[in-house]
Amino acid sequence: MIIGITSGHGSGKSSVAKLLGYEVIDVDSILQILLVDTESLKSELVKAFGTCERKELEKIVFTDSYKMDEYNLITLKYVKPVVKILLAKKSNAIIDALFLFESGLDKFCKFTIAVLANRGLRKPRIMERDGLNRKEAEMRIDTNKPDEYYLKKTPFSIDNNGEDLTVTAPILIDKIARFVNFRNKCGKVLDALVVISGIIGILTTIDFATEGIILSVVPGYVKLIGVGVVVVSIIAREKYEHYIYKKAKNILE
């Protein structure tokens, strides 16, 4: 199972990732290697920002959200193929990425986790980790999405406001495991609805295309029932999906 983990600066996603029991693919570490070894990437960055030096780039992109978006657009097209290659060799892994959703890396993941922390705790973490002053730390936080953004993107989140992560991380993994089990059971019913509606839809399409020649032995009222079953199956599938996620909320609480 591939799990994606993300957060804003200083929330502690890497600390949580290390406790989840899977090998971690650190997107930031991949990028740092690419910044040294990939000439085409360096050329694009120099063209866009006048430099490809990490420290200089940070001063530029962390002061302007538009420049950050441009930076991500350039760098992530180099990072994603590397992540894809690494994932091809693994059945279980964690993608640790600051811009997991914005980059589209979440599409590689079965599930995603957001790590959340109060702004007041994030600032000193960033200052200590990166050797920044208070203003610089605040500027980094300001380039991040608010907590609400992450909570809308994933049902799985963990608070890192001083809690004992060795306790809370396993609880989260247990919730994910129960959700996976529940979703797999429900998925069989959903798949059956898709197959039923698909078969009837194909037969009905053939009948219309041949003006009733191929299925001429089938009474008209049966064909009408067939069309009705397709419509009901589609509606039922949508309703059932809603039911699954409603039930899932209870599992996650």
- 191 lies in some domain: yes
Shared domain for 117 and 214, answered yes or no, is no
CATH code of 103's domain: 3.40.50.300
Q: What's the domain range around 243?
A: 184-252
pTM, to two decimals: 0.72
Shared domain for 144 and 212, answered yes or no, is no
- 170 lies in some domain: no
- 66 lies in some domain: yes
Q: Is the dihedral of CA 34, 35, 36, 39 positive or negative?
A: positive
CB-neighbour burial class of residue 234 (10 A; exposed 0-12, middle 13-18, buried 19+):
middle
Shared domain for 203 and 99, answered yes or no, is no
Shared domain for 104 and 228, answered yes or no, is no
Q: Which residues contact 145 (CB under 8 A, 6 or more apart)?
A: 8
Shared domain for 130 and 240, answered yes or no, is no
- 172 lies in some domain: no
- 177 lies in some domain: no
pLDDT values of the chain reduced to their tens digit, one per residue, 253 residues: 899 999 999 998 998 888 888 899 999 999 999 999 899 999 999 999 999 998 899 889 988 888 988 999 999 999 999 999 999 988 889 999 999 998 899 999 988 999 999 999 999 999 999 888 999 899 889 888 999 999 889 888 899 998 888 888 888 888 877 777 776 776 666 666 666 666 666 666 665 555 555 455 455 555 566 666 666 666 666 666 666 556 555 555 5
Shared domain for 78 and 147, answered yes or no, is yes
